[in-house]
Amino acid sequence: MLKLIIVRHAESQWNPLGRYQGLLDPELTDRGRSQAEALAHELRREGITRIYSSPLKRTYHTAKILSDKLGVPLYREERVIEIDHGNWSGMLVDEVREKYPEEFELWLKEPHRVRFEGGESLEDVFKRVKDFLDFVREKHRDETIAVVSHTVPIRCMYCALLDIDLSRFWGFGCDNASYSVALMEDERNVLQKLNITCHLGELYVEAHKAL
């Protein structure tokens, strides 16, 4: 059995603003770095043997704090990078709502039908995270590993792990510096913990519902 700990990156400079990040690359905030420290303290008992991370700064810097505190190796992993938001990248939620009202409404209600102009669809992300999950299942059987990623790939991972349709994408919470635990067994995958944030205390900030 593989124990997979799924981590969303700590707070970036654009998270409090409600700005779509996609493949753009803002740094962590001071609070984000403190969140990552708190998360490292929370995960110290898990016996993690290695960490995979999206190469973007907000994920990789979160993962580097975990790696340094836990004393485990860290690897860049392109398959868990954030969705390419295309033309939405760098825009505030309110700006997107005003400029692309129909696409924004579809994103909230039927996200599996959206392909971002100049970017990706959920199906694109699903395929690459599914490939990553198949890879770690084969390579790290009977280990405990962590992956540090972003809201869209993480929710796609949940859909892949539970074999549910991408139309259920918004049914999972995904806050900054949260972690979830999935047990990848031979017979089934079990989502044992979801979006755990109690370790953050006063550092907790609720995620924007459209991000």
Asked if 150 is an active-site residue, the reply is yes
CA dist 93 and 204 (Å) reads 21
Q: Select which of 9, 85, 140, 199 is catalytic.
A: 9
Task: Please tell me the distance from the alpha carbon of residue 51 to that of residue 6, in angstroms, as a whole number.
Answer: 10
Exposed, middle or buried, 171 (CB in 10 Å: 0-12/13-18/19+)? exposed
Selecting among 41, 85, 140, 150, the annotated active-site residue is 150
Active site residue 199: no
β partners of residue 195: none
The residues annotated with a catalytic role in the active site are: 9, 150
